Amino acid sequence: MTRPLKLVRSLPPSPRYAFAGDDAALVDGFRRGDLRARSALYDRYAEHVHRVLYRLIGFHRDLADLHHDVFVRALGSLPTLEDPSALKGWLTMIAVHVARSSITRRKRRSWLWFLPSEELPEVESGAASGEVLDALRATYAVLDALPVEERIAFALRFIDGMELTEVAAACETSLATIKRRLARACARFGAEARKQPVLEAWLDGGTRWGNPSDR
């Protein structure tokens, strides 16, 4: 009876639990060549990275490729991370870099940001009504008219719900700069959103971005 129990206890923990909640231990394991660290990194932060990218770029047929790109970049530079406890914010910053590059490329090529309804990928809000999906499309059409840096700040703050300090860190700039970007973004977003009939009800109902105290 004791032998099987001893054998089970001697098995290495699965990647999902190998570095349970400890980012510093995960980074240290990666630096030591522990193969479980790669899987643990993905298991822990895949959903977070996906959410950030989705908030920044909206409906995007290349979302999976961009998600993959974030982790490729992260794995390539993880050994140089100075503060392992800041792993989540560092990944967010990489996601912002990847999204920024994608937005800039698409702006240069004048491509549409959103897809026809029959081509939409499955998203977390799969149960959303047609009205909500129409509003989402219109929202990202408005965001596409904003300068890239203002769009990113607006999306992180008011779509993803990050705190101002988190937005500043993700954009690698000062809190004062982020506040200025948000002020300009809110003004531009409001003006452009008024041109979208599907957004009228949302605007008239009051929005967080329209409240200066939330900036």
Domain parsing of the chain, residue ranges: 21-115, 127-215
pTM of the model: 0.77
- Average pLDDT, rounded, for the chain: 80
Q: Give 112's pLDDT tier (boundaries 50, 70, 90).
A: very low
pLDDT of residue 61: 82
C-beta separation of 81 from 90 below 8 A: yes
pLDDT digits (tens, 9 = 90+) for 3-33: 433 433 443 445 555 676 789 999 999 999 8
Q: How is residue 28 written in tokens?
A: 């240290």
pLDDT at res. 60 = 77
Residue 171 clears pLDDT 80, i.e. is over it = yes
Report the pLDDT value the prediction gives residue 214, as an integer from 0 to 100.
52
- As assigned by CATH, the class of the 127-215 domain is mainly alpha
CATH pick for 21-115 out of 3.40.50.1000, 3.40.50.150, 1.10.1740.10, 3.40.50.170: 1.10.1740.10
pLDDT at 59: 76
| Contact yes or no for 42/71 (Cβ under 8 A) | yes
What are the DSSP calls for the chain, one per residue? -HHHHHHHHHSPPPHHHHTTT-HHHHHHHHHTT-THHHHHHHHHHHHHHHHHHHHHH-S-TTHHHHHHHHHHHHHHHGGG-S-GGGHHHHHHHHHHHHHHHHHHHHHHHT--SS--GGGPPP-TTTT--HHHHHHHHHHHHHHTTS-HHHHHHHIIIIIS---HHHHHHHTTS-HHHHHHHHHHHHHHHHHHHTT-GGGHHHHHT--GGG-GGG-
Residue 212 has a pLDDT of 42
pLDDT: which is higher, 202 or 165: 165
Q: What is the mean pLDDT of residues 64-85?
A: 93
